[in-house]
Every structure is written in structure tokens, then in C-alpha cells.
Structure 1
């Protein structure tokens, strides 16, 4: 008996030896094919590219995979326990492989011929996820075992678990537990309930079919299994189990947790990163910090949206989106389902009218349920007839609305206001004038509706916004702010075409001899043409080129003095920045820096600043543009500048700016600045041939309404003002320093000649001041803070 036992023992040792030898042989055969697991020490998990504001608000996220790597110390213990209970209960005890699981997989393969995977450990899953495919073959399984053993010898258990929980795919493009928490629940890990943790822990087996968005029932069953195992292993109490089981299966898809709405700017930053890093930008975990601050960007978005909706409101109501019924009304559930399928475009929400009273209506608003639409939110809605014609003001709600109307509404105080998607569009862009950093940028009413970035891409006729550049050239070529130019009609016969060119002022009023300062402040068209003639078109073209405008696409004709050339709002703001900063051209930029996932700076912006005009020239143009805000007096009469609304609204004397309106009011502009901010607002239709039109007074609205023609001062300037109210709140009013080469002389406002201590004080480049004397006819000083506010 002992002899047979001895033989059996030796035979067992032989089999063990053969097994070890076989494993060694297989290992030697596979060793050249095994990857180097030491790379796990420096593994770079693929993370998306994120775009932030300067103050850390998330603007956008780009990349196929949603992942937010997080240290294991920051993961809730119950979340870790849920994964271990379900995926690998003996994780902290075994050496990286589970002999029982391997044996079970081998028996199934030998008895059934099925290449079905056994219960892999977490370490094996790490090996597979990082180095191997998911094919179910014996060779792949053997490789997985060798890699798992090697990983266990190289990394600690916590390091392995951290890699696993950050790498594992969990459905809906989420990779890792932090991404899954955001995708399914819109939460960070520390905000998850036990039931939500169990739901996420149940996903690794089959994330595409077990996730709670696609299959709530199967996800609930899987969650129950996870909670049951946690209870069995003592990780949770019976009370915790019961509470988690009672929680409903509720999840919905959450996109990236955007905290600042700036999609046009984000796309510019996105394209910049692609230029620098190519497709790697999507996987390197780049954090792009833009040049905007959240409060200014929010103000710019709100200002443009409000301005476009205000234009749309005064031009009339174009009717409902759709008439859903005319006979039998829909039931509440059908209305809700219909609204759930409709998009919303902030601040507009879709709604359905269910009943109409004399001066109110009842409606269902998407996601808000039944609401009342009161007369204050309806009374504006005259019927739209054409861009320059509106119907009669409504007297009761049924003049406008009917049951079954699908409409747009927007919040109005604590109530709602009837609205519509505007046909009009626009842009607003602002810069820090000394560096060129973009501080706010909005490229249209809504990025989802139309991704065309009008701030950067829309080349529109400049209108009177071009005049400061023409005047800048004139001031360097024999003219002063006191020079007299004849504001009289021009009738120029063109023998080649056989036509007369008769440019007109707007309004069509002429004042005869007028000072250059007043002509710019009041935007006199014929004076600009005369200045261009005397200065010379080549000189003016060179000046436009110096300011950054593409003169290759500008016709070298006298019409350029009236703004016939085209420019984008970003180019316009860049040009005006040179006046604001004392004479230097800046190169605008939207990316301040780019960091990798570890905070290492990969790119840092370096502002490009180039002197183009003298400080004296910049100051003189700026001071004349201050008169466009604050007005002035000449020969005993007072006048307003075209931008007077800005002075009244902002009540600070360091503002300068210029309105702009093109022929037939197809484009409306306002560009203005202080020493700290320069901004351009533009409004127009994407259809170049469609004018902005005009509106009649609406008797249902108050005295503050805008009526008449649409111009830069009435259409674009209010947008600029609303942005500047926020942008300038932290910048105290500043008096501009007067350059050393400027002198002041008292002049007669009627002739521009010197007076003997009376009259109006004007700035001159030293040596250009008038030598002749005239009579004293004025009493108001010009120049920055010296203008009184007696006009207002």
C-alpha cells in the first residue's frame, strides 16, 4: 500500500513538474508578444479636451471618450465596495489570478468546446483593457494571466484598482466611474447615492445593454444583484440595502457639465488646439484656458440675445410655429409628449396654447407644465407684414393666439412673454485693447441653430464705422480737429459711366462749414469724402492697411469714405483698439494658455503689439469720438453726437465710440471703447440684400420704445451698452493722459481760428495750432473729462 502511495505521489510530482514545465514553455513562446507592463506606471489615460474661461468655468468639451481620472483616495468607499463585491471579492487576497475561476473556465472549454471566459479578476481586466483585445481565445486568456501576474509584481493593489476604475468602459462613451456618474446622473462621485453607486458598479459586465438609460428594468435587476452581494459581504447594513432597493431607477443622459455658454468662442479655441496638436488634442487631456471671464461673456451673450429679440419684437409677430389642432383639443399627455420632442433655444421655450381668454391665454410650457400667458406678455404682438410695415396693435388675446398654437415663449419677470425665433442676427466681440485678448465673443443668436461665427467670419459693409480711420489719415496730412470743411452736397459727374454720384448725409441735412471734430461726432458723410479727396485715396488705403484691414479686397474709390468696404466685427474691434491703447495694432487671441492633464503648460500666449500711429493721432481721434458720445456746441448752438445714448446710460466720461449704418440700413454697427475695453456690436440679416427696415410706434407699449428706422444708434448701440454695463463695473473711470506733443488753444467755433482766451479749448499737435485770430463764439471745452454734462 505504501509502495502504491509512494508511486502515486511521485506521479503527482511528475504531473506538477510537467505542468510547470509546460507553463514555462508557453511563457517562453509568448514572451516576445507580451507588452511591457511597466508602462502602466506612466500610463496616460485618454481624456477629452476641455475649454475653460479664465476663471475656470467649463465652456466646452471635445473628444470621443468621456473620462475624468480621479485618485482612488477621492472615490467613495461604498463605490469601491460595490465594484469589489460584484467583480472581484478576493481582490486584496489573491496574487492577480483566481485559480477557481480559471479551473471553471477550463472545465467548460473541455466539456463543451465553448471558448467562454471565466471569472476574470480585476487585475486581469486591467491587463485586457490596457494591452489585449476582447477576443475569447485560449491564447489571449493565457497572455492575460501572465500579464496579470506581472502587473501584481509591479504595482500595488490600490494602484491597480485606481487604473481599473478610471479605465473601464461604462456605456454612453463614459470611461471610468467619474465619467459615468456625470453621464447618467449629472453628479460628481461624492454626490452619488448608494443605489446610484450600485447601478454604476453593475455596468462592467455589459454596459451597452445593462445601462439605466437604455434598459431600466435590466439595470434595476443588475443593481439588485450588486446590492445583494454588498449585503452578503457585510459592506452595507440591512437598512441601507432596503433604502437603496426602494430608490427608483432614474437616469438620463447628461452632456458635459457646461457652466458657461460660449460655443462660438469654444470652437475658435478648439480649432486653435487642433492646429497646434493635431488629432492628439482629443486624447491628451488638454485644458484650454481662454481669455474670457464668465461675467463678461454672460453679459455679452445676454446683451446680444436681448437686442436681437427686441428688434424682432418691434417688427411684429409672424404667427405660431404650427397649428396642432383646430377641432378636438389634444389631451395633456399627447401635448407633453409633443413638447418633449421639441428643441429649446435659450431663452426661448416651446409651448402649446390650450385656451384663450380676452386678455390672457393658458398654455403648456415644455418641462414646466401649465402656465398663464398674461396681457403684458402678449400686447406687443402686432402682425408682421414686412420688415418696414406692421399691422395694428392687438386689442385682445384672440387677435394673436388660438387654441392649438405651438408657440415660443420666454421668461418675463415671474411670468412669460410670447416670443419667436428671430430672423435677424448679429455679433458682439470685445477685447482688452492693450494686449488683444478677447474678453467676450458671441457669434450669433444661437450656436445650435447656426454655427456660422459672425464675429469672426461675417464680412459686412463697415458703414460709418470706417470714418475714424479716414479722419486719422487726415489728421496726419494737414488737418486738425479745428479745421473747417464744407458740409455741402456733392454732385460728381462720372464721364465714364455717364452718371452723377450724389452722396448724401444721413439725415439729409447740411450745415455748411463745420469743424472736423463736429463732423466726425455727427457722422457727416460729405465731409468724410472731402477729407478723403484732400488726403488722397492711396494714403487712406495705407492707413486702413496699417489698422489691419485687408485692402486687397477694398475698391480704391471715394465710396470707401462712406464705409463701402467690408470687415468682420473682430477686425473692427481690433482696429478701434489702436485708438484705445494709444496707437498700437494688436493681434486678437482667444487662448491664454494650454495645459496637459497634469497641469504642465504646453502653450502660453504672447501678445503681439505693433505701433502704427502716433500717440497724438490716437488721442485726437479718441477725443473726437468722445464728442460722438457727449456732443458739443458751435456758434452758440448745441448738438448731440450719434452715440449720445451711451453717455446717458453709462454716465462716465472716458467713453468714445462711433455708430455705423450702411446704405438701406443693411448693417448696423457700434464700436466704442474706454482705456480698458473695446467692443463692437453688429446687427444684420444673413441675407445681405435684406434691409433692417423700420417700425411704427406701438400704442400698446410705453414711451421708451424704439420706433422709426433701424440704425447703428438704435439697433447696435443698445447691445454695446448692455455689455459695457457689466464689463466696466470693476474699472474706475480714467482720464486719458495727454501726449507731450499736444497743446491746447482757445478757438472760435465758427471759424476754427485762435481766440484771445475766450471760446472753446481744442487740442493740436504742437506746431499745427492756428496762428490767425477770429472772434470768440463758444464756451464749452472739449477733450475727455472737460466736457460738461449739461446736455443731459
Structure 2
């Protein structure tokens, strides 16, 4: 140390120069050798290529490779740099031989560069190949050896070496020339790629085939001679054909690639996609697309989620259509009219709030709210229908009446908790049509919500009847991403477990929604809670289903919003839904959340909690909040005579002979439609003729019911058709007297239909029965 200090003092100039040179040497190498843009690459959850988006400079240059395949590595070192692992970045013997040969010939005939030097040359693109440049490369190569290990230098070379045309790097070259991963290349294929960077512009696949073949085979002969491959492998290898033209890269999930490129441009992302499932789903979508396009329906999107991890397993943003029909548009996250797909959320919300029991009867009769008049898909009415059946059959009128009873603002609040990002306006903006497609949402958010509901049930059963605070979390498509469900708490996040369970029980019923035809697509061996939806004008068809493990969502339609007759969820989207569920493992049904349920007595006829006069009672488990619902309002005690054909009372029969029974009675308007669909429904018997009737008379307009404006149709001859007025009466045998604007127009008995032809303008209709009871309704007749 003392001698070193003395030397420095005596040779300050030399020491300074040496220090400067050492400093320059230490910082001569850029911190980042390569700054070229790279392609965006996505792989499946097992690292298999799903697709790639070309780099901004038009080159197929993948992000730097993680590993160099052994076969390619062996071929490359034997062809380019046999002493790679022994030299310090340059090979003096190779440099001497190259210098000697080049000087004797008067031109550059041979290069003496090592792979390390070639990495430096690749990073210093555009530099002329002079002896000065060679000297600079040599210095930088030795510096690179200090910074990186030999294997890291190999990765740099393999990632940035040119392979002809616009192909850069071993990963891109393997796919472009051999349509497979670099790790799956044969010896002949690896040898072909090992010799290509030596002169990529001269020996491009598809031209100069003989030169490329000679170089490859000489390398294969070396491999045979040094014992790397045996004779059989050598003979088979030299017989392999050379690539003739580049292959297109796989495009198995092109729309997910677009999505990834927005946030991870130029990166390689391992996704959560299951390659086998994605590929099979692609084939299913293509099959259905080929059928649907005959009806000018061109676009389909499909999303499959893992309920437990919220990972995206399949992402199909659009069908394999053409550019004229928006092939590149990713519809999964685009807002579309929801149709009936929000109905399960209303049903669950009403259960959760304790405003409904699963089988409560709800009215299904002609209904009008101001100028809004909802109709069922099949244009018919049931009078009254159990709530769970109304959901499974996707009846519109009961849904709107339920929303009206529940409250628009209350339901809107539940939807906002689901974080549906396309619900951008106030509740009043959507009105009661909110539950029938008046709002917009997207497949991503809807599948997320169904998955969260299924997961809530799973977690409740698995975690001692507790809830996670962040259950309605966003799904993920990056393999390294994990969702955070938050903390376990005793309070629900949106819906309680019992309400979700009872909703799913209703959704798994086999009844075909929106139609009375036989259901041909349902797979009875799998229990799936599923729902379809069809938007107004036949523009959007939906089908979303969930099991304990998976959510599958399907949208079908036209990206430009054009409606097509037959574009109905149950006919177009549901078949795709079940075809994809057939690809998934069978799941067990959800465990019943007993801790959120209570067993009560239910009236079988009405679905309400049983009153003291209900005659047919069964025990059912309901959500705890349902305890506050009212008892059955439809059962009443009536007194009959001995024959049970007539009602009697003390005015005409001895009290000792009265037979008191419980009778299920619906309001007149509901009864009018209900008895046509339920042949076993028994109206109240009439009073015996010698009795003084004490019960209240009930009558209601069937048509017009709540309508204010009436349009009178015309026949083919241009004549205006009659307006047929209809009334339901609790005692149809009574005579009814009809008046329009206080003018008598006729009377009816038993069947209370009256045909009239009023003038345009406002009219008041009055109906009076023979006992003096009357009802009135005001209408406006329009042309």
C-alpha cells in the first residue's frame, strides 16, 4: 500500500490518465443496450402464445426472451462462437486469423467477432464495419462481460439477432418460420435459425434456398461429428425441408391482445386464459356465427370467469366476421341495452330487503304507468304468477309492477353498489323501463356481478357464515394479478347469502324464458343458474349463467346496433352459453346458507306467509328478512250450504248448518286472466237466491284498464273498427249497464264485453251493475 502511494505521488500524470481511462471504461457501456420498440405478446396461463401485436417500427421483435432453447444454443455456439464460455469477450486467435486473411485478400473476407461482440454491434446499429469500429466493439464487449453473465449475453443475442425480413429474435423467428415455440424446434429447425443471423438479407427463407440448405447441413454435420446427435437424427434432420414463407402468428384471443396493448404495450404478458378452453370456445362461436350470419346477425362476444379467483378463462371480444361488420371491435366492454338481464338483481334486492318471498304471487295483468305500458314477450297475461316463476319465465309485466312496488330509487341504489359503470344517469332518467332494458351495461360488468354473487355464497359457506368486504371486485386477466376480497365481516356487501341462493334457485328452473315452446338447449345433468335477455327492437341478445365455479356470459347482435327479427336471447345466445358450459367441469350446486335462513309456514297457493285461514300449508326456508312480509291476503273464510254449491249466511240458513271453508280468491282482474291458465282455480260460489248478500261486490276494467289514449284501428276497406270494452265482475251473472259520457249504450250479462264506436276526443266510460255499484274510466280516442 505504501509503495502504491509513493508510485502515485511520483507519477501523478500517468495515474490521472489511467484513472480517466478507467472511468471512461466503466461508463462506456450504455445502461440500456437496446431501445427498439417490441411487439406486445400475450400467452396463456401455461405460457403458450395466444397472439402478438407487431412493434411500432413494423418489426416482429418480441420482448427479450427468458431462456435460450438448448438446441438453438448448441447450434449457435458451434456455428458462431465455440469458445464463448472461455473468452473474455473477444477471441484473439479468431481476430488474428481474420485479420491475416482479410489483409492478404485486400477485402473483408472473414469476421472474427464473438457473440459478445455481435451483441455490441447489434446495439450500435448503422455503424460502418471499419477497424476502428471493430476496436470500439472489442472494448465494449469486454465491458459487457463484466456486467452480464454469459447466459445473459446469449439471451441478448437471441432476442435481438436479425432473422431476415422484419423478423428479429429467436421467439419471433420460431413462430414466423416454423409456427411453433422456439423450445419445440427440431435440430434441423434450430440449425436453420442458428445460421440465419450470419447473413439474414442474403439467406432469407423462400429465396437462396441452396445456400441456406448448405449452411444448415454443414452445421448439422458438425453436430453429428462431435457426437451431439446420432446418425439417425442426422439423416432425418438433413431431409427436413426449409421454410418457404413466414407463417401468420396465432390470433387466438385478438381482442384481449388489444386490451392488453393499451396498458402493457410492448410487453410480454402471461394471461389467465386457458388455451384449450379458449380454442374450443372460438370454434363454438365460429359455428354459431356461420349460422347466425344467414339472418344478418354478425357479432358475438363471450366471457368465461373463474368464480373463485375471478380470473378470465376465455375472452372472445367478437366473432370471426369481416371488417365491414366491425370485426376488430371488442364488444365485451361496450355498453349495450340490457333487456331482461337485470331482472335477477331486482328479485334478489326485493328478497334482501324483505319485500318479497320466493313464491309470492305478483300480478300479471294489463298495466300502464302514465304513458308507459309494459308487455310480456308473448303478449299474454297470467293474471297472477309466483315471483320465482315470473323470473324464470322472464315475464315483463310482473317485473315492472315489482319495481314499482319496491321503488325505483331503492333498486337503482342496489345497481350502483354492483359498480355497473355504464349506469351513468339518474334513476328518473331510466324510469320503470330500467328493469326491461332501459339502461345500458356491458358483458364484463354483468359477468363480474354474477360471479360476485356466486362467490358471496361460496365464501359464506366456507368462512363460518361471514362476508368479504370487497366481494364485487374487478376480474383479472394478468396471471400474476390476484384479487383482494377485503376483510371478513359479519355484514353483507350488497345481497345477503340467502337472497342470492333463492335467486339462483329460481334461475335454474327448466322453464324456457320468454316463450312457451319446449326448451331444447338446457342440459339437465348440469345445475346452472342462468338468465337470458332481449333488448327492445331485437338489437341485443344476452345469456349469462353461473355455477359454483364458473360464470359464462354471451352477447349476440350487430355491433352497429341494427336489430334483426329472431335476435332473441333464448334463441341465439342461450345455445352458445350451454355449448360452452359443456366444455367446463360439472359443478356441485351451492350449499344452502342456513344461517341466513329461517323455516316458516308458507301458503302454497299464494306463496305468502300462511295466515290463520290458509288451508294448504308447507314449511319452507326463506331469507331472514322475509319474516316481515305480510300474511296471505288471498284466503278468506266463506260459509257454504250443505251441497257446497252456494254461499249462505244467517239470513237464509241456520248457523248450525253453515259449513265454513277457506277459499282462495283473487281480485277480479287477476282472476279473469288467472282462471284461463289455471283450470283448477275455483271462483267463489254465488249466493243462494234466498240469501241477502253481504259481501262486497268487486269489478274492474279489463280494457281499457289504465290506458288513457286509445287508437282505433282500421280494416282493409278503411273503415274504423269498434272499441271493445271489457269488465271483470265478481258476480258475472249480474246485469251491467254501460254509459259513455252519461249516454246509455247497452247492457251485458255473464260475459261483460261491449263494442262501441266513440268519436275522437275525450270520453268518460261508466259501468253500473244492477245493485248500483259503479266504476268509471276516462279515455282519449285518437286517430
Same fold? TM cut 0.5: yes
Consecutive unaligned residues of structure 1, counting only runs of 5 or more, are 1-23, 275-280, 316-421, 495-500, 595-602, 632-638, 695-709, 778-792
* Equivalent residue, structure 2, for 1:472: 348
| Alpha-carbon offset, residue 72 of structure 1 | 7.8
Deviations 1:71-119 (A, max 9, x none): 58554645543335999999999437512423555677xx7xx8x6862
Q: Tell me if structure 1 keeps the 8 A contact 2:456–2:471.
A: no
Deviations 1:635-672 (A, max 9, x none): xxxx99989848841324x4222221122322221222
| Alpha-carbon offset, residue 488 of structure 1 | 1.0
* Equivalent residue, structure 2, for 1:587: 473
> How many residues of Structure 1 are paired with residues of Structure 2 in the alignment?
591
SS in structure 2 of the partner of residue 207 of structure 1: coil
> In structure 2, do the counterparts of structure 1 residues 757 and 769 end up closer, same or farther at CA, with 3 Å as the change threshold?
farther
* Equivalent residue, structure 2, for 1:786: none
Q: Tell me if structure 2 keeps the 8 A contact 1:68–1:179.
A: no
> In structure 2, do the counterparts of structure 1 residues 441 and 90 end up closer, same or farther at CA, with 3 Å as the change threshold?
closer
Q: Give the alignment of 1:553-572 within 5 angstroms.
A: 553=425, 555-572=429-446
RMSD: 4.8
Deviations 1:555-575 (A, max 9, x none): 231222322111111122223
Q: Give the alignment of 1:235-254 within 5 angstroms.
A: 248-254=241-247
* In 2: Cα distance, 1:492 partner to 1:588 partner: 37
2:463 matches 1:463 = no
Deviations 1:765-788 (A, max 9, x none): 3523554584598xxxxxxxxxxx
Decide which structure has greater helix share.
Answer: 1
2:367 matches 1:485 = no
* In 1: Cα distance, 2:150 partner to 2:338 partner: 66
| Alpha-carbon offset, residue 154 of structure 1 | 8.7
Q: Which shows bigger deviation, 52-61 or 562-571?
A: 52-61
2:605 matches 1:749 = yes
Q: Tell me if structure 2 keeps the 8 A contact 1:117–1:136.
A: no
* In 1: Cα distance, 2:128 partner to 2:225 partner: 33
Q: Tell me if structure 2 keeps the 8 A contact 1:573–1:678.
A: yes
SS in structure 2 of the partner of residue 742 of structure 1: strand
Q: Give the alignment of 1:178-577 within 5 angstroms.
A: 180-186=173-179, 196=189, 199-216=192-209, 218-220=211-213, 248-256=241-249, 258=250, 261-274=252-265, 281-282=266-267, 286-290=268-272, 292-313=273-294, 315=295, 423-446=297-320, 449=323, 450=326, 452-475=328-351, 476=353, 478-494=355-371, 501-549=372-420, 550-553=422-425, 555-577=429-451
> In structure 2, do the counterparts of structure 1 residues 516 and 97 end up closer, same or farther at CA, with 3 Å as the change threshold?
same
* In 2: Cα distance, 1:435 partner to 1:294 partner: 17
- Rg: which structure is higher? 2
The correspondence for 1:125, drawn from 112, 118, 125, is: 118
* Equivalent residue, structure 1, for 2:127: 134
The normalised TM-score by structure 2 is 0.63
Deviations 1:669-696 (A, max 9, x none): 12222222222222111231x32214xx
Q: Tell me if structure 1 keeps the 8 A contact 2:354–2:627.
A: no
| Alpha-carbon offset, residue 722 of structure 1 | 0.9
* Equivalent residue, structure 1, for 2:495: 613
* Equivalent residue, structure 1, for 2:162: 169
Q: Tell me if structure 1 keeps the 8 A contact 2:339–2:535.
A: yes
* Equivalent residue, structure 2, for 1:724: 581
Q: Tell me if structure 2 keeps the 8 A contact 1:168–1:176.
A: yes
> In structure 2, do the counterparts of structure 1 residues 573 and 191 end up closer, same or farther at CA, with 3 Å as the change threshold?
closer
Q: Tell me if structure 1 keeps the 8 A contact 2:176–2:246.
A: yes
> In structure 2, do the counterparts of structure 1 residues 96 and 180 end up closer, same or farther at CA, with 3 Å as the change threshold?
farther
Deviations 1:533-552 (A, max 9, x none): 22222112212212222432
Q: Tell me if structure 1 keeps the 8 A contact 2:388–2:506.
A: yes
SS in structure 1 of the partner of residue 628 of structure 2: coil
| Alpha-carbon offset, residue 507 of structure 1 | 0.6
The correspondence for 1:661, drawn from 534, 537, 545, is: 534
* Equivalent residue, structure 2, for 1:82: 79
The normalised TM-score by structure 1 is 0.63
Q: Which shows bigger deviation, 99-108 or 292-301?
A: 99-108
Q: Tell me if structure 2 keeps the 8 A contact 1:574–1:585.
A: no
